[in-house]
Amino acid sequence: MSLLYPLLLSSALFGIGLYGVLARRNAVLMLLGVELMLNAVNLNLVAFDAWFADRMHTGQVLTLFTIALAAAEIGLGLAIVLALFRAVRTVDVDEVGR
Amino acid sequence: MIRRWGYVGITAVLAVVVAIWAVPELGRDTVTFVTIGQTGPDGGPPLPSLSPDLLIYPGTAQILLLAVGVGLLVQIYSTAYLGHHPRYRSYALVIVLFLIAMIAVVGTTNLWVLLVGWEVMGLCSYLLIGHEWESPVARAGAAKAFLVTRIADLGLVMAIIVIGETYGTYDIVGAQVAQSEQPRHATLIGLLVLVAVVGKSAQFPLHTWLPDAMPGPTPITALIHAATMVAAGVYLAARLFQLYADSQVVLTAMAVVAAITMLMGALFAWVQTDLKRALAWSTVSQLALMLAAVAVGDPEAGTDHLLAHGVFKALLFLGCGCVMLAVGSSALSSMGGLRRRMPVTFWTMTAGFAALAGLVPTAGFFTKDSVLHAIERATDGDRGLAAGTAWVLLVVALVTTFVTAAYATRLWVLTFFGAGHGAGPHGTLGQDVREAPLAMAGPLVVLAVATFALSVGQPLHLGTGLLSTVIAVAGVAAVLVAARRGSTLAWAPRPLAAELWLDRPFSRWILALGTGASRVVVELDREVVDVYPRGGESLAATISRGLGLAQSRNVQRYATVLAVGVVMLVVIGVVVS
């Protein structure tokens, strides 16, 4: 299988995630964008792991590592969003910043 | 009370020191130098040093004794008059400083020391006239006195510089010696000295500050009018007389100023409704008489009259203070009928008014007689002044004698005789109108005695003496007859009552000029000079507004810029490589 397809898919995912982080004003959706970007990276890692046929499967190990990290990150991020909502009754970042 | 007498003690010590120093010189014909520095009077001090050398001759000694004597009496008088004032302390000390400055002006041979004393006197008179600075009138009067006498200071400074440049010395005696060898620049020096004298001694056209200085405490008025300040002007004219005696221009100008001022002052004194202000105008008039004596070439007669005038004018002002304390006002309308209630003040002030009117046997008669005689001698025309000018001066002086006798009698009648209108609710004097305390009445008695004592040994000139006596008696009699016939003595034509509007240049035009000029300056500053700082300010504001657009406080916008930057870098990297 050509390396091109997963890379294209991961680039598209990353672009969508970046767009979500930069353009969305809702804090939850921004976290979702970050998550998309992380998963684009995961896809990239897995794709290259398969392409190089690495005996140690460094890419896959690193992917597991990233998934754990993403879980921790989303937990922390959602907790912050929750605390923010309790404090100011909104999750719109422009409203909060004002 | 003890503390107050401490200041009297300081003044008394000063008076005794001056007396020890000056009294032995009174009878002497020779001149005594007290050399304190390293230089003598003939060599002259190196230019332009402040030499502490002092020169005493009989005329100087008289004026020194007058200054400290009146100063001491004023100080004693003030313990009762102003002793409870919260600022009595500074008041009493400024009087001492005033006297020291006057001693410096009178005693020194060095023109710069004279200038320092002259300036310190201007400052002291400013401080003392404005002693009650809570009242705006006092503040205005003090500022006016200070500013108008500034013009005099300017004349004196320039006169000193011209004398120094002409004769190579700033020593009065040195300059006189050099002048007797070769006189130079007499007219210039004389005119500058005249400017100084006109300002300091309140002569036309700079006369308006003296009557406006009346809000000051009355003892201070006595001091300024009798012994210091205005006396310094006439003294300066007499002292430097030799330096400009040859210049007919100066003598004529001086005679014209004196003639205008003496008659004008006497007429203004007649129309006043305020005792103190009337006395102030009478000082202006009498100073002009002294200046006339200098102008006709007899400065000794001028300083003699200065001495007698100092004594009787101090007496009149201090008596005026007693009356003001009793009736609570200096307006003539609140006086009248005080003769029985205040016998000491009445009799002493009667002596003072007699001296002012020039009646025998007061000192005022004899010294005025000397001045008139000097003017009469000048009418032959070979004493520097043209005969015509001297004749005009003589006639004006005689008319002034008449007016002076008339207004002195008018003030005397309005203050001490009559029913005492306006003093009480029923047309009678209030119960609290009584004689002044001893500390105030005592100096009056001393000065009244001096008014007679000073006439001992004065020369008598029969012709002018008889003439002036007749004129003065006529003036007195005219007013007495008018008063007996029930006249209120309030004849005051409008131009005279408004003092010929001569104060207008000072109170309106110069003020308006100053206001206009400052308005132009403010406009210039606002419209021209301020353009540069305001331009810089708006430029900086524009730049920072532009820069501020980038700092939106929006983190997502920053992140967008960052992302776009990274993408661009990657693209560039790919394309270039």
**A94/B563 Cβ within 8 A:** no
Residue of A nearest to B556 (CA): A22
pLDDT at A59 over 70: yes
Mutate to test the interface with A, among B551, B552, B556 (most CBs of A within 10 A): B556
pLDDT grade for A38, boundaries at 50, 70 and 90? very high
**A97/B553 Cβ within 8 A:** yes
Which is more confidently placed, B85 or A4? Answer: A4
B204-239 residue pLDDT tens: 888 888 888 887 788 888 888 887 888 888 888 888
Mutate to test the interface with B, among A18, A19, A22, A96 (most CBs of B within 10 A): A22
- Closest-CA distance of chain B to residue A21, Å: 8
User: What pLDDT is attached to residue B39?
Assistant: 47
Question: Considering only CB atoms, which chain A residues are within 8 Å of B556?
Answer: 21-23, 25, 93
Which is more confidently placed, B51 or B332? Answer: B332
What three-state secondary structure class fits B428? coil
| Residue % of chain B over a pLDDT of 90 | 5
| Residue % of chain B over a pLDDT of 70 | 88
CB B430 within 8 A of CB B330: no
The stretch B351-379 carries a mean pLDDT of 84
The stretch B73-98 carries a mean pLDDT of 83
pLDDT grade for B430, boundaries at 50, 70 and 90? low
CA-to-CA distance for B261 and B258, rounded, in angstroms?
5
Long-range contact pairs involving B256-259 (C-beta distance under 8 Å, separation at least 24): B256/B389, B257/B194, B257/B198, B257/B203, B257/B204, B257/B288, B257/B291, B258/B203, B258/B288, B258/B289, B258/B291, B258/B292, B258/B295, B258/B393, B259/B288, B259/B292, B259/B392, B259/B393, B259/B396, B259/B397
User: What pLDDT is attached to residue B423?
Assistant: 45
- Closest-CA distance of chain A to residue B534, Å: 33
Q: In what helix (H) or strand (E) does residue B33 lie, and over which residues does it extend? A: strand B32-34
DSSP secondary structure letter of residue B208 = T
CA B483 to the chain's CA centroid: 33
The token pair that represents B349 in the structure block:
């002030």
DSSP secondary structure letter of residue B459 = -
**B554/A94 Cβ within 8 A:** yes
User: What pLDDT is attached to residue B424?
Assistant: 44
User: What pLDDT is attached to residue A32?
Assistant: 93
A75-91 residue pLDDT tens: 999 999 999 899 988 88
User: What pLDDT is attached to residue B33?
Assistant: 56
- Closest-CA distance of chain B to residue A22, Å: 5
Question: Considering only CB atoms, which chain B residues are within 8 Å of A37?
Answer: none
Tokens 């809000």 sit on residue? B215
B546-577 residue pLDDT tens: 988 888 777 888 888 899 999 999 999 999 98
CB B76 within 8 A of CB B437: no
User: Which chain B residues touch A if contact means CB-CB below 8 Å?
Assistant: 553-556, 559-560, 563
CB B234 within 8 A of CB B287: yes
pLDDT at B173 over 50: yes
Domains with residue ranges and CATH for chain A? 4-97 (1.10.287.3510)
User: What pLDDT is attached to residue B420?
Assistant: 55
The stretch A53-60 carries a mean pLDDT of 88
Question: Considering only CB atoms, which chain A residues are within 8 Å of B560?
Answer: 22
CA-to-CA distance for B446 and B222, rounded, in angstroms?
15
Task: Compute the mean pLDDT over every residue in chain B, rounded to the nearest whole number.
Answer: 81
> Cα dist. B259→B93, B262, B393 in Å?
38, 5, 6
Which of B434, B430, B415, B418 lies closest to B342 in space, CA to CA?
B434
The token pair that represents B451 in the structure block:
């008014």
* Angle, helix B299-327 to helix B230-239, in steps of 10 degrees: 180
**B556/A93 Cβ within 8 A:** yes
pTM score: 0.73
